[in-house]
Structure 1
């Protein structure tokens, strides 16, 4: 890889691993879905600006807008809202570990949709990785009754993310630029988030504290736009397989951040579980 590739890789890992701690600071005074709404209003505006500056197509027929709406529902609203609701009950590093199993869950979803068994190596990777999740959360379940519901929310959020990836892939097959699709997807996601807030009766307020606003800008600009753009650039330069190793690395850094700033306590079970999750992701990437 070239020096530029290493720089892109570093940006992706840094952006993804540092997003989980500020995410926890977005919940409290402001309802989770409202915090996610502010995040994607900013991110959508930036994506439209980037798409316009790059001269990308932004006008599409109504049939594609239905897919943009599905993308917004799955990838830019519901999945994040579920993680935000889970965040008060789990260490930020554990949120990252669950999210990193997306590549494992993708295989199971595709197998269900195609009604055919996945290749043995990919099935083994999924079993290893998901078994690691069980080991990681055994100590958490013993310490907190809220850990299991929070884990369920994270798994559901990851499944929504996986479904959103399928929608995104279908749009790319129709030659819709990723940045254009994401721009519209975020707009529809903001609509979904607004609906969630209205149904739940949560006010559209914002926390004026510096910690909240700094975290919001970081999540919207760097984690949602810059890091993702770097990742897509990396995919184009070195391929999806090699770029995908970021999913193996960023949970480790997220857990280290959680250990330093949140006092996450490592146990033999959690260490073994994290090792299995990373091994499952690594095996999955090498089997592609």
Structure 2
């Protein structure tokens, strides 16, 4: 079961970055995010009600779901969608892979989990890898503000995603059902983005093109309903740090698609940077016998 969940997360999230890039256009970012999670939340609600799986939760838990919605189904994607205007979707996915480090640090802060001795070398590799990955562009553009904006927004969105991981871990430690909390959180994220769009005076009219609507429904159904459900199920089964293992793989999918569809040009520094980031993520989990105890080989609890 864990293997199937991992494959689903890697393949789907490896392709959603290109779909986010395809959302760029006349529709504002908050409205695009609003429609994405409105569709996803409605689908989740209908399915759970039909199956009798929607669970009631306390007011306090709803407040945490609201926070989760803002972090995972709202402002983090607000950052990612804006970053796609400045850097390629493949590079966004590589920065997102550093959620492994964010999860380790946030687990220490919120759950008093002692950090691994590998955290420092992994962080050094990760930061050095990001610098190497973007070095050619930084030099060529003399550190253009737009490039730095894309990197910063991607990092901020990744941090928001990690905070959402911590809230999901909190839910599951309290015995709350993942699909129900995800559904509530998606609704709250939708409302937050809707209010933001209203305050900004944005039009809620989507773009009626195959490119926009196709990417919208792919992001809503596959990227949100299926992939987030699979990911947060993994968080509950094997923990946030181990679930983040999937980020080792899907950047390779995203960068391959970015090379084909966005014309991303590989330079030697990009290859070195990518290898350093992926190695840093791998170092986070390295331990004796690691290859024989990969998370997808663990039995479900």
How high is the TM-score relative to the length of structure 2? 0.86
Identify which range, 108-117 or 146-155, moves more after superposition: 108-117
Q: Residue 184 of structure 1 aligns with which residue? A: 184
Match of 1:72 in 2: 69
Deviations along 1:44-91, one digit per CA (max 9) or x if unpaired, are: 112223323443243222111111111111111000011001101111
Whether contact under 8 Å (1:58, 1:180) holds in the other structure is yes
CA 1:233–1:79: 2 relative to 1, 3 Å? closer
Equivalent-residue separation in structure 1 for 2:44 and 2:140 (angstroms): 42
Quote the residue 1:150 is aligned against: 150
1:83 maps to 2:66: no
Q: CA deviation at 1:110?
A: 3.9
What does 1:208-219 correspond to in 2, within 5 Å? 208-219=208-219
Instruction: Name the counterpart of 1:172.
Output: 172
Q: 1:252 aligns to what?
A: 252
Task: Name stretches of at least 5 consecutive residues in structure 1 with no aligned partner.
Answer: none
Tell me, yes or no, if structure 1 residue 92 matches structure 2 residue 83: no
24, 40, 45: which one aligns with 1:43: 40
Measured after TM superposition, the shift of residue 179 of structure 1 is 0.7
Partner of 2:221: 221
CA deviation map 1:91-131 (0-9, x unaligned): 11001111111111222334455789733212221221122
Greater displacement, 148-157 / 117-126: 117-126
SS of the residue 1:106 aligns to = helix
Shift of 1:234: 5.6
TM-score of the aligned structures, taking structure 1 as reference length: 0.90
Distance 1:180 1:143 in 2: 48
Shift of the 115–140 alpha-carbon distance from structure 1 to 2, 3 Å rule, reads farther
Decide whether aligned partners of structure 1 residues 275 and 167 sit closer, same or farther in structure 2, where only a CA change above 3 A counts. Answer: same
Structure 2, unpaired ranges of 5+: 291-301
The range that moved more, 76-85 or 200-209, is 200-209
Match of 2:199, SS state, is: helix
Q: For residues 244 and 109 of structure 1, what CA distance do their matches in structure 2 show? A: 13
Q: Report the Cα distance in structure 1 between the residues aligned to 2:89 and 2:113, rounded to whole angstroms.
A: 35
Match of 1:266 in 2: 266
TM-fit CA distance, 1:250:
0.5
Root-mean-square deviation (Å): 2.4
- Structure 1 position 242, deviation (Å): 6.3
Say yes or no: does 1:107 pair with 2:101.
no
Deviation of residue 235 (structure 1)?
A: 6.2
Distance 2:203 2:71 in 1: 23
Q: How many residues align?
A: 285
Relative to structure 1, the CA distance from residue 231 to residue 171 in structure 2 (aligned partners, 3 Å threshold; closer, same or farther) is closer
